[in-house]
Amino acid sequence: MVIPLVLPGDQCAGAGQTREPPMPVDGVGPTRPFAWIGSRVAHPAGDLAWSTAYYRDFLGVQPSGGFTHHDGYDGVFFGLPGGGELELTAGPVRPTAGTEEDLLVLYVRTMDEVRTIGAGLVSVGVRSVDSPNPYWNRCGQTFLDPDGYRIVIAAAAVSDGDPREQAVGHDGPPTIDIDWHVGAREELRPLFELAEDSWTQLDEYLYQGRVLLARRGSGIMGHLQLVATTRAGEIEVKNMAVVPDQRGTGVGRELVASAVLRCGAEGWSRMVVATAAADTGNLRFYQRLGFRFRSVERDAFTAATGYPDAIVIGGIPLLDRVWLSQDLHDRRPDTSASPA
């Protein structure tokens, strides 16, 4: 008797579709399954630390072990859904990503989940590509890892006739694209002025550090400036703003999430941000994103510090500055796993 095998992705092509398991050819081969106890897919990585951060922080696949200096190789293991493992190695063999059909497929339940995950990946700079197989464009979204390997985020349950069964990203509002600003900093001054009331203060730091820009299509939706502090391993969110008609749409959240992931992957240990004590909305915003109170700087917003005009926010005089911080150690690449 042949027992039909229903694969997770088959539901996307139509309910009830089945596939038969392979049978021995011409009497050659096993007549019963081997007693396999595990499985692992191995890929060489060009930059093991960066690839580790990519799979761990962007895709949420957790390391399960690893090794260093093992016959000329370092490696990190990741537990895959369903029980298999992915192994990334750094050694004498350089990565070659294979063909457009060589895929690692990670399943979620619905297309809504695919879209949510996909938007988050795109927002932190992960490249999305079309698949030559229309099936994966209908039921998922394909991304490239740092070495060009293809990863598909796919829905396990989309039935025929579902109006959402189409190429991901071709419906709804454009996704948020976030990347480093390249070009003249002065052209961003109007954005900076949305978050800085003192021209004197802005003149002092406008050209410092690096700036992430958030775009939807060709339009700039917001920015976030990162500047190293005088403390080792610490970086500051110096200025961040979202254009007024895009506030409340998730742009600010995606900018901060992108900054945290990028800085953690680069090896920074702590991110700090300062905001007005009177701005309870900003205090709530940063705490929801993992920041915690560190200190209060009294009388930070006065004429002596470049704020000559009295400012009131929600009935509260603008006087004090609150500093918040977030530990980035959990976001940093981990290459200290013990040898296999």
Lowest mean pLDDT among 42-51, 150-159, 218-227, 249-258: 150-159
Residue 186 lies in a domain: yes
Asked if pLDDT for residue 38 goes beyond 90, the answer is no
Percent share of the chain, pLDDT over 90 = 36
Give me the pLDDT at residue 334, please: 46
Does residue 271 contact residue 259 with C-beta atoms inside 8 Å? yes
Residue 292 lies in a domain: yes
Residue 24 lies in a domain: no
Does residue 272 contact residue 237 with C-beta atoms inside 8 Å? yes
| 306 and 255 inside one domain | yes
| 131 and 193 inside one domain | no
Residue 220 lies in a domain: yes
Residues 6+ positions from 36 with CB-CB distance below 8 Å = none
Pair of tokens at residue 175: 């996704």
Residue 3 lies in a domain: no
CATH number at residue 226: 3.40.630.30
Asked if pLDDT for residue 226 goes beyond 80, the answer is yes
Greatest mean pLDDT range, 4-8, 32-36, 216-220, 287-291: 287-291
CATH number at residue 123: 3.10.180.10
Q: Encode pLDDT of 70-86 as tens digits.
A: 889 999 999 888 778 99
Residue 28 lies in a domain: no
Pair of tokens at residue 48: 């093991």
Q: Which is more confident, 29 or 136? A: 136
Q: What does the angle CA 62 – CA 65 – CA 66 come to, to the nearest 5 degrees? A: 120
Question: Per-residue pLDDT averaged across 114-124, rounded?
Answer: 85
Q: Provide the mean pLDDT of the chain.
A: 80
Containing structural domain, residue 189:
177-331
Does residue 265 contact residue 53 with C-beta atoms inside 8 Å? yes
Q: Encode pLDDT of 155-187 as tens digits.
A: 876 544 443 343 343 344 456 788 999 999 999
How many domains would you assign to the chain?
Answer: 2
| 81 and 126 inside one domain | yes
